[in-house]
Every structure is written in C-alpha cells, then in structure tokens.
A and B are shown apart, each in its own frame.
Chain A
Amino acid sequence: MRLAQHMAVASERVRATAIEATEFPELSRAYQVMGVPKVVINDRVQFEGAVPEQDFLGAVLQAVGPA
C-alpha cells in the first residue's frame, strides 16, 4: 500500500485503496485473494507480494496499456 498511496499523491489519475481482507471476505473472494499483500490494478493486472517501485510502475503502465 505504501507505493500505491504515494502514487495517488503523485497523480490525480491514481486512486489507491487498502482493503483489509478478513473484514471484506466477499471482496477478497471476488478478487481471489489467496496470499497478501495482493495488488489488483484496474481489475486487469494483479500480483502478490511486495515488489520494487519499478516493477509496481510497470504493472500500472501495463494496466492502462492496450489490451
């Protein structure tokens, strides 16, 4: 969440939501959360675990790129 929230401050385009998985089991099921942290970007790109800033940015750019 740390990188995501800094990205939200860096750009008006970015919205970051931290979701406490055990409090929202339906959302967690809908997004097939098995391990945490799990990151889902634009419901299109997802990954598990902490990643370096460059990889996180790569996932963001992939999520807005052509399908």
Chain B
Amino acid sequence: MNAMAILTERDRAAVRKEFEKLTGPVKLVVFSQELVAGDLCRQNEQLVRDVATLSDKLTVEVLNPAIDRERAEPYRVDQVPAIAVGGARAYGIRFYGIPSGYEFSNLIDSIIVASTGEPALSEETKASLQALAEDVDIKVFSTPT
C-alpha cells in the first residue's frame, strides 16, 4: 500500500463525482491512538485525509481519545481506529476500523447525507424516527469485501 495515497486515481475520480452532491460542510473526526493500533490508525487517518482532499466542504480533525479527552468525549467513541461523521450537527455516525470495500462506499454515502441533511428514507420512516422517545444505538458488523 502506497503511504502517500491509499485511493487509486480511479477511486478519487469516482468520489470527486459523488461529492458534487455535497451542499453543506462536513467534519470528519478521526480517532487515533498510536500505542493501541499504530499501523491501522495511520492508514485510517491517511484514508480520511485523502478523501478530504476531494472536496473543499470537508474538514478533518484528529483526536487521541486518551489525550484529547474533553474533545473526544461527546462522540462516545471507545475504539480506535475510528471515524465520526458530522454535518449541521454531530450526527451519530461512526466507523470503527478502516472502511474498505463496501464500508468505504458507506463512508462516502454518509458524508453526502451528513452534508445534505436529507436522508433517503420514506416519509413514514422519517416520521417514526422523529417520534422516538428513547435513544437508539445501531451497530452494524461487516467484513471487508
């Protein structure tokens, strides 16, 4: 793997095209801890920085949960490497582990929906979710494809 660019030129062109849909700013918060998973955290950070070069609407913040405790706390991230995706508010979208394959597509999709604030869900689903009286924590386990 090339240390300077994790994405191929073809990936970058495809993502740049997808990012034409971006309307509002998105912050990608990267959680890295050298002592816990140095290599994976470096690769994850590189991937996010690489993605962030593809649109001027994206900014990157890197936090070490053991050091930047106060800034990391609201994200409630308890694993590294991790990425939190935020737009108009700190949407609770997190990726634990380096998003590759299908999860990479999901990362790009999450950036777009965080930017537009317009989820691709039916009106009925949105109404049900907005009426929730309790917090909902959804974990989705996957493997790289």
Provide the residues of chain B in CB contact with A16, threshold 8 Å: 92-94, 138, 140
CB nearest neighbor in A for B114: A9
Would you list which residues of chain B between 90 and 145 have a CB under 8 Å from chain A? 91-100, 103, 106, 109-110, 113-114, 117-122, 125-126, 128-130, 132-144
Provide the residues of chain A in CB contact with B129, threshold 8 Å: 7, 10-11, 13-14, 57, 60
26 pairs of residues in contact across A and B, judged by CB atoms under 8 Å: A1-B110, A3-B121, A5-B106, A5-B113, A13-B134, A14-B129, A14-B132, A15-B94, A15-B135, A16-B94, A16-B140, A18-B97, A18-B103, A19-B140, A22-B143, A24-B96, A36-B143, A39-B139, A40-B138, A40-B139, A43-B137, A53-B121, A53-B122, A60-B129, A63-B136, A64-B136
Residues of chain B having any CB pair with chain A under 8 Å: 40, 76, 79, 81, 85, 87, 89, 91-100, 103, 106, 109-110, 113-114, 117-122, 125-126, 128-130, 132-144
